[in-house]
Amino acid sequence: MRVLFVSSEVAPLIKTGGLADVSAALPSALRRLGDDVRVLMPGYSQVLRALESFKVEAFFSGVDEFPNFRLFASVLPDGVPLWVIDCPELFQRDGGIYQDGKGKDWPDNALRFGLLSKVAAILGGTESPVEWKPEVVHCNDWQTGLTPAYMHFSPGSAPCVMTVHNLAFQGVFPPQMVSELALPAESFHPHGAEFYGNLSFLKAGLYYANHVTTVSPTYAEEIQTEALGFGLQGLLKNRSKSLTGILNGIDDSEWNPASDPALTQAYTAQKMAGKAANKRALQKHMGLQVDAEVPLFGLVSRFTHQKGVDIVLEIAPQLIADHAQLVLLGSGDATMQSDAMELARNFPGQVAVMIGFDEGLSHLIEAGSDIFLMPSRFEPCGLNQMYSQRYGTPPIVHATGGLVDSVVDYNEATLDKGEATGFVFDDMTPQGLLSCAQRAATTYRDKKVWSALQFNGMSKDFGWQKSAEKYHEIYASLSDSV
Ligand code: ADP
């Protein structure tokens, strides 16, 4: 299958979250299955700087109201062909890819990601200047949501798959953007791209795509409910026959404790000795007391309400009083950041906090911690809980979305069956998390059970192969039906 994979972020070129990891790993896995996948993304300054070489594939002018732009052809580090939209006016600027340096959304985001959506639609349509024609266009999140709408109104276009990585982000803009982005007026309708009087990129994608997927089976169910549907549950319920949940995989060559260059010492499920050296290194690096026995809880996360970082901060003093250590890496909400820093000041040697984004440290935390914390209020899939299982660091997770689909709670029965890999709690309150963390800390002291949990997690297959096969089946069924 020829597949155009469209994403606003692709690791390692640019990453703000799990979408970038998926956008690197899934195309690569699909190519291993024999699909001809090409990735399309915006030419942010960071991306153009990171590209080693490229050639100009096409030049575009007079596309609706968009500035002139070029399409560069290049290649991702693992050999996947890459197309980059070179439109300096929209993409080359200092600051983040969605927000300026102060954390404010760029005021022209509708135009920026309208262009990304439009280019994908052109490449998947009948008027593409590029020779290579996709049989399916695979869109990801709101930044590509208008692609299915543009394609729906362009007869002869390839079918589209729309994947939701997080329904909380919808790309909602004022109604005048409908004409500015040259969408047909008839698309601005509750049965279309309109969301309570505004233009919703994500809703457009969910409405017009031929098939919708999301990143775990449980999340696919949850988004059809009022609690987690963010106002789109009705549409998603109507589309339930063409809505599939496929659990993300992880890049198991990058996230492999046997070969991870960020670790002090390598280790495997069979030879675990190196894990202790990583704990020592992490404690030293972060200014924690070096103590092999104390249970060390780790967290790597965006600091947001979604991720439950607030309740981690709330229970931290009690955890420390029970004799534990805590290491936190992340950034986001200003109050959470300052609360975390205050906690570190109040508990020197017991709590360490690093505000920022640090890929290497995130690997060391996965390896050096004993227990990983991921109490998300909702979680479409989540990657860190999979990384932590692979690194022999049993996770504590809230029973939601991809977390329940990827972690098996420890009890006697699951241990006997060789399935237990972590700790799952239902009650999303500080008390609920604390009881679960205490249960984990007690279990940690039972070395035999702990080794079994570590072994089970490390032996689990979190690779992309199975998931890529499921995406391939969806592509094939869509191209059969046109
Ligand atoms: P989300 O995409 O919702 O942020 P995921 O768990 O799906 O959450 O993916 C987050 C990804 O970003 C993981 O690869 C995680 O390790 C990484 N990450 C998040 N925050 C940081 C940080 N501060 N430093 C390094 N990596 C981070």
Q: Summarize pLDDT for 62-82 with one digit per residue, the tens.
A: 999 999 999 999 999 999 999
Q: What percent of the chain has pLDDT over 90?
A: 97
Residue 40 pLDDT > 80: yes
Nearest atom within ligand 1 for CA of residue 376: 3
Q: How many C-beta atoms lie closer than 10 Å to residue 431's C-beta?
A: 13
What confidence score (pLDDT) does residue 482 get?
66
Which atom of ligand 1 is least distant from the CA of 329? 23
CA of 18 to the centre of ligand 1 (A): 6
Q: Which atom in ligand 1 lies closest to the alpha carbon of residue 307?
A: 3
Q: Taking residues 236-251, report their average pLDDT.
A: 96
Domains and CATH numbers, the chain: 2-249+465-481 (3.40.50.2000), 273-459 (3.40.50.2000)
- The token duo for 133 is 């024609």
Q: Whose CA is nearest to atom 15 of ligand 1?
A: 384
Letter string b/e over residues 250-263, b meaning 16 or more CB atoms within 10 A of that residue's CB: bbbebbbbeebebb
Pocket test for ligand 1, best of 7, 384, 393 (most atoms within 8 A of CB): 384
Ligand 1 atom, smallest distance to 165 CA: 2
From ligand 1's centre to the CA of 336, what distance in Å?
16
pLDDT at 132 over 90: yes
From the list 82, 4, 72, 73, the residue with the least C-alpha distance to 36 is 4
Q: Which residues line ligand 1 (CB under 6 A)?
A: 17-18, 21, 300-302, 329-331, 357-359, 362, 381-384
What's the CA-to-centroid distance between 281 and ligand 1, angstroms?
Answer: 21
pLDDT at 375 over 90: yes
How far apart are alpha carbons 229 and 337 in whole angstroms?
28
Distance 17 CA to ligand 1 centre (A): 5
Nearest CA to ligand 1 atom 4: 17
Residue 6: count of CB within 10 angstroms of its CB: 27
Q: What residues have CB less than 8 Å from 333, skipping those under 6 apart?
A: 303, 304, 305, 309
Interval between CA 333 and ligand 1 midpoint (Å) = 15
> Which residue in the block uniquely carries the two structure tokens 């070029």?
70
Residue nearest to atom 17 of ligand 1 (CA): 17
Residue 479 has pLDDT above 90, yes or no: no
d(CA 135, CA 411): 47
Task: Find residue 75's DSSP bridge partners.
Answer: 81
Question: Distance from the CA of 299 to the center of ligand 1, in angstroms?
Answer: 10
Residue with CA closest to ligand 1 atom 14: 18
The answer to whether the CB of 366 falls within 8 A of the CB of 343 is no
| Residue 394, amino acid | P
Ligand 1: atom nearest CA of 248 is 7
Mutate to test the pocket of ligand 1, among 142, 362, 389, 403 (most ligand atoms within 8 A of CB): 362
Residues 6+ apart with CB under 8 A from 429: 311
User: Model confidence over 282-335: pLDDT tens digits?
Assistant: 999 999 999 999 999 999 999 999 999 999 999 999 999 999 999 999 999 999
The token duo for 89 is 């006016």
Calculate how far, in angstroms, residue 10's C-alpha sits from the geometric centre of ligand 1. Answer: 13
Over residues 127-147, mean pLDDT: 97
Measure the CA–CA gap between 17 and 261, rounded to whole angstroms: 21
Identify the weakest region by mean pLDDT among 26-30, 99-103, 112-116, 361-365: 99-103
Under 8 Å between Cβ of 217 and 228: no
For residue 211, the model assigns a pLDDT of 98
Rg (the chain; Cα; Å): 23
Q: Which of 247, 309, 383, when mutated, tests ligand 1's pocket best, judged by the most ligand atoms within 8 Å of its CB?
A: 383
**Are 314 and 343 a contacting pair, CB within 8 Å?**
no
Ligand 1 centre distance from Cα of residue 300 (Å): 7
| CA gap 330, 299 in Å, rounded | 8
Q: Which atom of ligand 1 is nearest to the CA of 383?
A: 6
Arithmetic mean of pLDDT, 403-410: 98
Tokens encoding 19: 């979408």
CA distance 88 to 407: 43
- End-to-end CA gap in the chain: 14
Who's near 357: CB < 8 A, 6+ residues apart?
A: 331
The pLDDT of residue 52 = 86
Give distance in angstroms: CA of 20 to centre of ligand 1: 10
Question: Ligand 1, residues 357, 369, 376, 393: which to mutate, most atoms within 8 A of Cβ?
Answer: 357
Nearest CA to ligand 1 atom 20: 301
> pLDDT tens digits for 109-126?
999 999 999 999 999 999
Give me the sign of the Cα torsion angle 332, 337, 340, 345: positive
Mean pLDDT computed over every residue of the chain: 97
CA dist., res. 392 & res. 406, Å (int) = 14
Write out the two tokens for 42.
Answer: 């915006």
Q: What pLDDT does 163 receive?
A: 98
